[in-house]
Chain A
Amino acid sequence: MTCLPVSTEKRLGLAIDLDTCVGCQACVTACKGWNDQGYGVPLSDQNPYGAEPSGVFLNRVHSYAVQPIEGEAQTINFPRSCLHCEDAPCVTVCPTGASYKRSEDGIVLVNEDACIGCGLCAWACPYGAREMDAEAGVMKKCTLCVDRIYNENLPEEDREPACVRGCPTGARHFGDFADPDSKVSRLSAERSGYALMPDLGTKPVNRYLPPRKKDVRQDASILAPLLDIKASGFAGWLDRVLGKI
């Protein structure tokens, strides 16, 4: 049913550290790699080697330049994927019941067998988290790797979303936001984690950890003393003679 659960036992989601994300796109690749052969139909590509390739990705990494009022401009890499909202507008608009939010862990999923591909859920999502698969005609979205996180056939360290597992800088953290002592809850509290566009009333679960405060640039170079070379001996004599000519 597309009625949202009143509350969920867990609130599984991601804490994304914008300070450590280097924009390498490893999470994008890991996500595509896993979900191409996991939950539901594969993430199809159209014209992948042609002039205008296109395809479904459940995670996209943007790069922004941010200019503070004082100090240096910063490059901030910004991964964007489903935030598994508590009040998910994509779920309630679905006419077929294909979109749903799980009451046990809060994951928002699409039952592809019931999806008619009307695209209304993608319209309702303010975050662009849903992309239609042009091949299968069904809506694709982040599953929080539901087929990994509970998968007892995988070694324990692999039971987290592919994007988290694949991140080389540890910028992505997976956990339960309903548990105040979980790693993600503590990280979010310590680092003032924030939700995206909270005024739209979607109550996202995922949190973004803003970049830490940057050092102030020192105008005097720390290399300056080393560059001030005093020549001595024959070179010093030559330096003095040449300076007088």
Chain B
Amino acid sequence: MHPAPSVIVFSVLSGAGFGLLFFLGLGFVHPSGLVAFLWWGLGYGLAVIGLLASTFHLGNPKRAWRAFTQWQTSWLSREAWASVAALVLLAPMALSDWLDLGLPRPFGWLGAALALVTVFTTSMIYAQIKAVPRWHHWLTPVMFLSFALAGGAVLAGQSFAAVLLSALAAVLLAIWQVGDGQFARRAQTLGTATGLDRIGEVTVFEQAHTAGNYLLREMIFVVGRKHAQKLRAIALALAAVIPAALLVISGEVWTFALAAICHLIGALTARWLFFAQAEHVVGLFYGKR
């Protein structure tokens, strides 16, 4: 699949933002005054910038409001609702922390839960697609939630962030291992896709068109896959291993800041791979993957 920068930036930043809002909403930290404004502001900023970035890849962003209408069937529509609901429901808690209004903590719990629900709905946009076998697996939501929780814990300055980062490393290794075999497990080939395997072995004789088209650009993205293994090592190190090691060595504020930057760069790399390595079954018709 084509790794659209807007979608990568959106899902990584909003994931980390909603992760941070989750921990702030649950009251893992009790900031007040300016610190509270900046901390909650970081959470809201990441989440909102991410959501805005997601509209950049739309053909008609001016109609984006319509995405709220189809929550009964569409995970993308559910994501729109969950994200707005989380941001609205957490607002009283954020204001209370900032202005010392003394609102009881349970006011933030529902919003915190919805922050994670938002991340889950984002992940289901991809996990629901049967035509992309690598994504169509329960590990996809697990991976998105792991990123949100680990990134959120780092941004919230939590001492247990190192544990969540280690868990993230395990999830990444698992999803790569499982993902590599997903296409083969679907057992779809050019022969089964066209149904011509009932006659014999099928090969492409002539392509349907000599020039590129939307399908080839969007779904049959093959550039950069050859460096996948190196990029995986980089993603694993930057997103999980190095930040975890940093936090084990020191619990200072600057260590958390460094770990957060490191984690986000790693997360962007991993998310790029998530798209670039995903193969759509339509590639079979072209003899490509």
In the complex, identify which listed stretch (B109-117, B143-151, B232-240, B277-285) lies at the interface while the others stay far away.
B277-285
**Which of A65, A98, A116, A137 lies in contact with B202, CB distance below 8 A?**
A65
In the complex, identify which listed stretch (B124-132, B176-184, B255-263) lies at the interface while the others stay far away.
B124-132
| A1-B70, A66-B202, A78-B196 given; A54·B219 CB < 8 A | no
By beta carbon, the residue of chain B nearest A91 is B73
| A62-B208, A122-B219, A201-B130 given; A97·B70 CB < 8 A | yes
| A62-B285, A126-B130 given; A69·B200 CB < 8 A | yes
Check B105 for interface membership: any CB of A closer than 8 A.
Answer: no
Check B206 for interface membership: any CB of A closer than 8 A.
Answer: yes
Check B100 for interface membership: any CB of A closer than 8 A.
Answer: no
Check A76 for interface membership: any CB of B closer than 8 A.
Answer: yes
Check A211 for interface membership: any CB of B closer than 8 A.
Answer: yes
| A54-B213, A137-B59, A211-B199 given; A92·B74 CB < 8 A | yes
Number of contacting residues on A, CB 8 A? 67
| Contact between chains at B280 and A194 (CB < 8 Å) | no
| Contact between chains at A66 and B196 (CB < 8 Å) | yes
Check B212 for interface membership: any CB of A closer than 8 A.
Answer: yes
Which residues on the B side are within 8 Å of A211 (C-beta)? 199
| Contact between chains at A1 and B199 (CB < 8 Å) | no
| Contact between chains at A138 and B76 (CB < 8 Å) | no
Number of contacting residues on B, CB 8 A? 57
Check B64 for interface membership: any CB of A closer than 8 A.
Answer: yes
Contact with A along B190-214 (1 / 0, CB 8 A): 1011111011111111111101111
Check B63 for interface membership: any CB of A closer than 8 A.
Answer: yes
In the complex, identify which listed stretch (A128-136, A143-151, A220-228) lies at the interface while the others stay far away.
A128-136
**Which of A93, A114, A208 lies in contact with B195, CB distance below 8 A?**
A208
Contact with B along A83-95 (1 / 0, CB 8 A): 0000001011111
Check B225 for interface membership: any CB of A closer than 8 A.
Answer: no
**Which of B70, B190, B280 lies in contact with A96, CB distance below 8 A?**
B70
Check A74 for interface membership: any CB of B closer than 8 A.
Answer: yes
| Contact between chains at A132 and B208 (CB < 8 Å) | no
Check A119 for interface membership: any CB of B closer than 8 A.
Answer: yes
Query: What 4 A-B pairs are tightest by C-beta distance, nearest first?
Result: A117-B59, A137-B59, A128-B282, A68-B200
> Can you list 23 A-B pairs, Cβ within 8 angstroms, ordered by A?
A52-B212, A61-B208, A62-B194, A64-B194, A67-B201, A92-B74, A93-B74, A95-B68, A95-B70, A95-B76, A96-B67, A117-B60, A118-B58, A123-B129, A123-B280, A125-B131, A126-B280, A126-B282, A131-B215, A133-B59, A195-B195, A210-B198, A210-B199
